Structures are given as C-alpha cells and as structure tokens.
Amino acid sequence: MTTSPRIGVLAVQGDVREHVQALHTLGVATSTVRRPAELEGLDGLVIPGGESTVMDKLVRAFDLQGPLRERIAGGMPVYGSCAGMIMLADRVADATSDQQTLGGMDLLVRRNAFGRQVDSFEVDLSIPAVRDGESEPVRAVFIRAPWVEEVGGAVEVLAEVPADGSSGERGGKVVMARQDNLLVTSFHPEVTGDLRVHEYFVDLVRGA
C-alpha cells in the first residue's frame, strides 16, 4: 500500500463536492464514482450525506450495489457520513418497505432520529481517536441525522453525544463508530472545515 492512496467519493447523490474538497485539502488523490468501472484503482471510498432512500435506488439503478458490496466484503476502507452511515449499516429502523443497504457494519441505525431539517443542531464531541480529539473537541453538525441504536461486538464506538442537561434525549446516542475498515458518522465533518475525521479515515486507508 502506498502512502498516497486514491480515495473515491460516491457521487450518485448528496454532498459530494464538500468531501472531495476536504480530501483535496489533505493532499489526497480523489475521484468521483458513478459507475462500477470507476471503483477500479481505488484504495478507499467515501459515501456522503444525502437522502439514503434516493441513494439506495440510484446505486441499484447504476449497477453499483453488487460491486460496492463486493469491495466492502473484500476489505476496502469506506467512510459513510449521515446517509452513508445508513448505507453501511446491516439493519435500519424505520426503513421504507423497499429500502436496501450495502451493509458491512453490525449496526442498527435509525433514520432521521435527531429530527427534521428544522431540528438540525451543532454540538462539541470528544473523539479521542482523532488527532487531539480528547483535548480539542470536534464541532459536529447534525442535519436530519441518524443515530446508532445497537452495535455488534465487532463495532468500536468512537463518539457519543454528551449526556448533559442541554442534550436532552439525544444525550448518550452513538454518532461515530468503526468496524475493521469501515467508519461511520451521523454528523457532517465536511461542512465545518475541521479535517480531523477525514484525516483519521485517510490514515485508516493508508494502513489497510
């Protein structure tokens, strides 16, 4: 594995440009993925936020579901933010009747768990796994975000919403997790300018 990986961003729907820019800022070779052939030569993949049901339908329409599942099963590192978290979960609460996921992570994720667009919020998270993440909190932006309701034994929880008086019922909810080469966040680090989550994923890709 080289020290200069190529990371793709799934570009069927969602906030693709922001993730591409974050990776470019870190000096990572980046390409967008809309067709199975565009997975060739990639060392990792980002699945952006967006609308998980639309993303699922487009992934199937573009004949990407099978190739993506194959690469995930083969150990390719993948990072999913928000809708990407849903796409990587094995189980989804409140899924639509025909909704499918790529799977790979032993998670039960609830769609839109933090509320509608008007319920979007920001909070500081302690994420010891990322650089200076314990002493310098990560500002996390949640937009119609899912949360993790159940984690399997192979899943490492990396961050939870602080369980303090200001957090209400969302306090203590799991919002970042990792299983082997798969990483998910409920929040959108690509919109804040804080690149530490992307940096953590790039390091994961380099070590794969």
Provide the annotated active-site residues. Answer: 82, 188, 190
Which amino acid belongs to residue 44? G
Long-range contacts of 139-143 (CB under 8 A, 24+ apart): 139/192, 139/194, 140/175, 140/185, 140/186, 140/187, 140/188, 140/189, 140/192, 141/187, 141/188, 141/189, 141/191, 141/192, 142/114, 142/175, 142/186, 142/187, 142/188, 143/49, 143/82, 143/117, 143/188
Q: How far apart are CA 177 and CA 156, in angstroms?
A: 6
Q: Which residues pair with 8 in a beta bridge?
A: 31, 45
List the one residue out of 120, 123, 108, 137 whose CA is nearest residue 197: 137
